[in-house]
Each structure stands twice: as C-alpha cells, then as structure tokens.
Structure 1
Amino acid sequence: MRFIFVFMLWVSFVSGASYKPQDGDIIFQSLQSRQSQAVEQVTDSPYSHVGIIFINNGQPYVFEAISNVIYTPLNSWIARGNHKNYVIKRLKDHNLSNNDIEKLKQVASTFEGKPYDIWFGWDDNYMYCSELVWKIYDRALKLKIGQLQTIKEFDLSSPLVKQILKERYGNDIPYQETVISPVAMYNSPLLITVDKQW
C-alpha cells in the first residue's frame, strides 16, 4: 500500500500536477529553429532555450529573450517548445523573499524590450536567453547560476555550427567572448528540478 502511495506521488510530480509556478523559477526547453539546433550541438545537450518565470496579476509568465526581451504566458511558452517538453528548476537552498522577488523584477525591467543577440556578446545592448536569466540573478541577488565559459570551449565542429559562425562572424570569430549556455545553468548545483515534461 505504501509503495502505491509513493508511486502516485511520483506520477503526480512528473506529470506536473503538483507544480505551482513561483517567481524566479527557471524553465528550460528545446526549440526547433536552426539556431536552437546549433546551440544543442555545441553544448551537447537537449536544452537550447531558457527563461525566468514571474507571476504578474496572478498569472505565470516567462521573461525571455526571443526576438526581443518580452513576457510570454507560461502555457504559450511551453506550447512553442519542441514536443512541448520542458524542465523547471528552482533555487535549492534559498527561499526567495518578497524583497528578493522585487529585486529580480527590478533588474528584469532594465532588460525588457532589448533586441535579441545573435552574436552572443556579453554587453547589455543585446540579450540572448541564458545571458538574460544569468544576469538577472547575478545582479539582483549575487547568485551565479551556471559556470561562465568562452566560445572556444564549445564543440564548434558540426557543419551547421560552422555555417552559422561563418554567416555571423566571417573569419573573425570571437573565441574569447564570455558566454553562458542553457545547459550550464541547467547543471548548476544551486538548482533543483521541480517539474519536468520530457
């Protein structure tokens, strides 16, 4: 009987039935775009896109860098993903206070509307998805979610990746540019998984 009860709890967790979105949750997915395929190849992971969840007027939204930095309703965000798969993580040893949440939202507001960064630069003029979430947590709470790397540390050998690099940088690839990848954030020891559909 105890086994059945534990099993039902596990099914409820995996199916997302028990998940309640909270401010600051970090959500990962795979998109079907050409760039997303390249990101997955260079990072050897299924995660090519990431956003941070905020509750606005009682409804969950994903704050993300996609075409611009925007708020997207959580359900719409999930539906856009490859096979509607996603993973949601949360800080493991840090319960966000109202003050923490306000700080996160204040920092997020400084990025809203910025154009997407196809060059993966580390300045604030343009933003890509994992850069956005990483900088929000770092600047608001001094928490570094994931290990920073440089472009040269990734596997750039696939034909698709080589083609995209050529298109965007020509022969001047910025190998020393600081970057943060979705999978580096996913693997952060500061996070635990709270919901998964994969």
Structure 2
Amino acid sequence: MIKKCLLLLFGIIYILGAVFMLYFFNNYNSIEIPKNLHLKNGDLILRCGKSTESYAVILADSKTEFSHIGIISIENQVPFVIHAVPHKNHLIKKDKLNVFLSSKNASKYAVYRANFNEEAMQKVTIEAQLFYDKKCTFDTHFNLTTNTKLYCTELIFKAFKNAGIPLKIQPKEFNYIIGKQPIILPSEFTKAPIFNKII
C-alpha cells in the first residue's frame, strides 16, 4: 500500500513538473534583440534556457527567472558570449549573440553591467577568453576548487577574480544524494549591488 502511494506521489510530481516545464519554457515564442543594443566587453548576459538542466536550476533557485549566464566579448564590433554549458564536447563555448539567444536556446534574457571602468572590464573579458583558449571544459561536478573545469557562474566569478576584482558573492550550499555542494547561482550576480540591469 505504501509503495503504491509513493509511486502515485512521484507520478503526480513528474506530471506537474512536465506541465510546468512546458508552460514555463514555451510561454515565450521568440526573442527580439534590439537593433540599437549597445553591448560592452564584460557585460553579463543571462537567459532562461529550455533544457532539463535549465529547469533544474530554476527549481533550485526560486528567486531567479534565469538559468544560465555568460559574458560578452566584442570582436570586430560583433558581440560574442563566452559561457560554460553542458554539451557534446564539453568545452567552454563562444557563441555569437544571436546563437546564444536563439529561440532554441532561450525564452528570455537580461543584460547586467558592472560599475567598473572599461579597462577593468577588458581585463575580465580577457580572463574569460583565456578559459576558452585553454579549452577548459564544463564542470559536471560543480566543484569550485578546479580551474580547468568550470560551470557558467564559476567562469564569471573566476574571470573577475583573475582580473583582480574579487566579487563578494557567496555560493549556496545544496544537499544532494552524494552530499553537500556549494554552488554559485545566476541570481547572485543580479542581486550584487555592483551590477546594474541595462536590458
């Protein structure tokens, strides 16, 4: 009897999760990128993704509407996004803005800018680029002590740190089946007073 009740409960949770996921991620059909969008090196871009990983982030962090974060790098006046995301070859990615924000990858987005000068933000961007150039990989274990494996918020946090700008952002501790793990969530950047939302 108890087993049947548990199976029914898990079934209900699964169905509710699937319905929520379909509504949440398909409530936005496409993303319009303003033509006069003036991005700068070091701008942080957040998106609400459509993957199961994105759904897990949203569930873990009830205070956010975004599941992923990247950093802008302007090259020949073209904005790219350097970011760490789970994918086929696991390497840190550098995508054009329109790819990062394609309807396949995102349902909505926001851009935050740090209140540091352009020289400081250029250094941060260079540090993020170094992670890409060194072919660092996505950190499936979300371990903040490794420097060759990074997850999305860790990449941003360490790019600032390596540029000589330590951020006062604290990881949140989560309990998993395998134990406790400190993780930096995307919302920590949106709450930090040094970052201002520009879009």
Instruction: Calculate the TM-score normalised by the size of structure 2.
Output: 0.72
The residue that corresponds to 1:19 in the other structure is: 37
Q: Deviations over 1:24-77 (max 9, x none)?
A: 000001111111101110111221100000101221000000232121001111
Partner of 1:55: 74
Q: Which runs of 5+ in 2 are unaligned?
A: 1-31
Q: Distance between the aligned counterparts of 1:192 and 1:101, measured in 2?
A: 14
Matched, 1:130 2:114: no
1:34 and 2:52 equivalent? yes
1:86 aligns with 2:120: no
Q: What is the CA–CA distance in structure 1 between the aligned matches of 2:122 and 2:42, rounded to whole Å?
A: 10
Q: Structure 1 vs Structure 2: percent identity of aligned residues? A: 23
Q: Give 1:82 deviation, angstroms.
A: 3.1
| Corresponding residue of 2:21 | none
Equivalent in the alignment of 1:180: 184
Partner letter of residue 178 of structure 2? D
Counterpart of 1:33 in structure 2: which amino acid?
Answer: S
Runs (4 or more) in structure 1 with deviation over 4 Å come to none
Give the aligned residue type for 2:148. N
TM-score between both structures, scaled by the size of structure 1: 0.72
Partner in structure 2 of residue 108 of structure 1 = 128
Contact 2:173 2:183 in 1 (8 A): yes
Given candidates 99, 110, 114, the residue that maps to 1:76 is 99
2: CA distance, partners of 1:101 / 1:82: 25
Deviation at 1:117, TM superposition (A): 1.4
Return the letter of the residue paired with 1:61: F
The count of aligned residue pairs is: 159
State whether residues 65 and 129 of structure 1, in contact with CA within 8 Å, keep that contact through their aligned partners in structure 2: yes
1:121 lines up with 2:143 in the alignment: yes
> Distance in 2 between the 1:131 and 1:102 partners?
18
Structure in which a larger fraction of residues adopt helix: 1
Aligned-pair distance for 1:109? 3.4
Separation of aligned partners in 2, 1:135 and 1:55: 19
Residues 109-153 of structure 1: per-residue CA shift (max 9 Å, x gap): 33112121122111213111111111111221324163322224x
Distance across 1 between alignment mates of 2:189 and 2:35:
25
1:150 aligns with 2:150: no
Q: Cα gap change, 1:181/1:102 in structure 2, threshold over 3 Å: closer, same or farther?
A: same
Offset of residue 191 of structure 1 = 0.7
Q: 1:33/1:139 Cα in 2 relative to 1: closer, same or farther (>3 Å)? A: same
SS at match of 1:110: helix
Task: Verify the 8 A CA contact 2:112 2:196 in the aligned structure 1.
Answer: yes
CA distance in 2, matches of 1:187, 1:43: 13
Task: Note if contact 1:28-1:51 (Cα within 8 Å) is conserved in structure 2.
Answer: yes
